[in-house]
Structures are given as C-alpha cells and as structure tokens.
C-alpha cells in the first residue's frame, strides 16, 4: 500500500515539477527555436534536418523539411486540408493507430495542427506520440513527443515543457501560410497536397529514426 501511495505522490511531483532547466533552447533555423535536452542528436537527410533526443520520460523529435518551391496556399481551408491529409498519412504508418484530440492551435502568429497518435508497438504495447505541425512557404516543421502508455501518468511536465517551448520569429505570420481569408477551397490546394506528400516522407524518416533509437525502458 505504501508503494502505491509513494508512486502516486512521485507521479504528481513529476507531472507538476519537471524542470525547465533540463531542456535548453535550440535554434532550428533563424525562424524557429525549441528546447531540447543538451545531448540531442542532429542529422541531415533527404533535404531535411532532424533533431532528436531522449528525455527523462519520452523521446523528442523535431524535423524541418525545407522546400523553397512551396507557395502560400490560397485560403485557410486549403491549409486545413493539407493538415488533415498529414494526420491521415501518419495514421497509416502505424499498427492499430488512431488520432486523438485532433485540433487547430496557434504557435506565434501561425496556425498549427496538434494531435495525439495512439498505436500498437510490435510487442502489442500501447504507445503514444504527441504532434505539432507547422506549414510555411519555405519549410514545414514537425514536433513529436513519444512515450509508452505505461508512462502516461508521469510525462505531463516534460511534454508540456517541450511543446510550449516552440518559439517563432515575429516575422512569420499567416501570409507565410495562405493568402486569403475566404473560407472556400481553391485550386491552389493541390500545392498543399504536394506538401502533404513531402510530410509523408518526413513521417517515414521519423519512423526509421524511432526504430533506430534505444527502446524506452
């Protein structure tokens, strides 16, 4: 009984008191920074920059997929379509996957998509990945925090610290995503769907990185 009470107490302390000093700001580029553990790894592959690190409770991945040929989507609804396409693509990469708490959010002045992916690992254990996705004319940015289901009760502080640390240059605004405030779909969405294809490649790269990393205990 004492072990159960102690475990619950430690879980509350962990969720509420994860130290901001354990993560340090990392410049992804001149427009985007995010905080990661000091011993993060950086790799360049397929015209993408991938930053990854083990936290105390989860695994963090940040991907910048640069594409100088991207054009602003015409309308906000076009951006929504691109984001929804991305979520669907990711679900297809994992066994028994479901997207939970899918929602629009903002990071700085930009519109972003956030969601949690629940899926079954090879050993049938339940796993979670929390995502934030940003799309701009020059690059797409992808933030992931992954953890096994058994750690759900203790990851809250670290997860919140990581995702809330995403900072954007004030130079970035909605004009770097779409041009018009009209709500209808436009033909330019085809450009965004191509961007969605690029993000599918990002998904595959991250899956490979996750398989190579040390398994979480």
Choice among 8-12, 122-126, 153-157 with the minimum mean pLDDT: 8-12
Q: What is the pLDDT of residues 188-199, one digit of tens each?
A: 444 444 444 555
What is the DSSP pairing of strand 139-148 with strand 59-66?
antiparallel
Q: What are phi and psi of 64, to 5 degrees?
A: -110, 115
Helix, strand, coil proportions of the chain in percent (round to 5)?
35, 35, 30
What pLDDT does 193 receive? 46
pTM over 0.85: no
What pLDDT does 22 receive? 83
Q: What are phi and psi of 153, to 5 degrees?
A: -75, -10
What's the CATH superfamily of 2-212?
Mog1/PsbP, alpha/beta/alpha sandwich (3.40.1000.10)
User: In the predicted model, what is the mean pLDDT of residues 57-69?
Assistant: 88
Average pLDDT, the chain: 81
Confidence of residue 2 (pLDDT cuts 50, 70, 90): very low
The CA distance from 138 to 14, in Å, is 38
Question: In terms of pLDDT, which residue wins out, 72 or 117?
Answer: 117
Q: What is the pLDDT of residues 15-26, one digit of tens each?
A: 334 444 589 999
The CA distance from 120 to 42, in Å, is 27
Confidence of residue 180 (pLDDT cuts 50, 70, 90): confident
Q: What is the pLDDT of residues 31-58, one digit of tens each?
A: 999 999 999 999 997 779 999 999 999 9
What pLDDT does 71 receive? 66
b/e string for 125-161 if b means 16 or more Cβ within 10 A? eebbbbbbbbbbbebbbbbbbbbbeebeebbbbbbeb
Q: Which residues contact 175 (CB under 8 A, 6 or more apart)?
A: 72
**Domain residue ranges of the chain, discontinuous segments joined by +:** 2-212
Q: What is the pLDDT of residues 81-108, one digit of tens each?
A: 989 998 999 899 998 999 999 999 999 9
Residue pair 125/182 in contact (Cβ under 8 Å)? The answer is no
Choice among 52-61, 74-83, 110-119, 206-215 with the minimum mean pLDDT: 206-215
What pLDDT does 205 receive? 56
Question: In terms of pLDDT, which residue wins out, 135 or 15?
Answer: 135
């Amino acid at each position: 009984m004492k072990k159960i009470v102690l475990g619950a107490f430690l879980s509350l302390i962990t969720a509420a008191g994860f130290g901001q000093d354990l993560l340090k700001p990392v410049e992804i580029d001149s427009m985007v920074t995010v905080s990661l553990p000091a011993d993060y790894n950086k790799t360049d592959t397929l015209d993408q920059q991938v930053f990854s690190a083990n936290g105390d409770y989860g695994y963090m991945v940040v991907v910048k997929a640069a594409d100088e040929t991207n054009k602003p989507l015409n309308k906000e609804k076009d951006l929504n379509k691109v984001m929804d396409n991305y979520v669907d693509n990711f679900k297809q990469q994992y066994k028994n996957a479901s997207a939970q708490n899918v929602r629009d959010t903002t990071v700085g002045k930009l519109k972003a998509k956030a969601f949690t992916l629940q899926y079954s690992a090879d050993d049938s254990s339940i796993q979670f990945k929390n995502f934030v996705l940003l799309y701009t004319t020059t690059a797409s940015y992808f933030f992931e925090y992954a953890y096994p289901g058994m750690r759900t009760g203790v990851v809250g502080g670290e997860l919140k610290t990581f995702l809330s640390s995403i900072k954007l240059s004030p130079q970035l605004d909605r004009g770097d995503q779409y041009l018009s405030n009209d709500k209808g779909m436009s033909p330019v969405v085809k450009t965004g769907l191509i961007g969605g294809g690029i993000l599918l490649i990002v998904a595959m790269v991250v899956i490979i990185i996750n398989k190579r990393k040390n398994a979480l205990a």
